[in-house]
Chain A
Amino acid sequence: DGGITQSPKYLFRKEGQNVTLSCEQNLNHDAMYWYRQDPGQGLRLIYYSQIVNDFQKGDIAEGYSVSREKKESFPLTVTSAQKNPTAFYLCASSLRGRSSGNTIYFGEGSWLTVV
Chain B
Amino acid sequence: DAKTTQPPSMDCAEGRAANLPCNHSTISGNEYVYWYRQIHSQGPQYIIHGLKNNETNEMASLIITEDRKSSTLILPHATLRDTAVYYCIVRVAGGGNKLTFGTGTQLKVEL
Contact = CB atoms under 8 A, between A and B. Distances in A.
A92 B41 CA distance: 15
B96 interface: yes
Interface string A87-111: 0101010101111111111111101
B102 A109 contact: no
Given A4-B43, A100-B93, 13 more contacts: A33-B99, A40-B103, A41-B103, A42-B102, A42-B104, A90-B43, A94-B97, A96-B94, A100-B51, A101-B49, A103-B46, A104-B97, A109-B41
Contacts, number: 68
Contacts of A105: 46
B98 A45 contact: yes
Nearest to A95: B97
Interface of B: 32, 34, 41-46, 49, 51, 87, 93-104
Given A48-B96, A102-B94, A103-B49, A108 B103 contact: no
Contacts of A31: 97
Contacts of B101: 35, 42-44
B94 A97 contact: yes
Contacts of A106: 43-46
Interface of A: 4, 31, 33, 35, 40-45, 48, 50, 56, 58, 88, 90, 92, 94, 96-109, 111
A107 B101 CA distance: 16
A97 B93 CA distance: 7
B40 to A, nearest CB: 10
Contact of B43 (A42, A45, A50, A109): A109
Contacts of A111: 41
A44 B101 CA distance: 7
Contacts of A108: 42-43
A33 B93 CA distance: 15
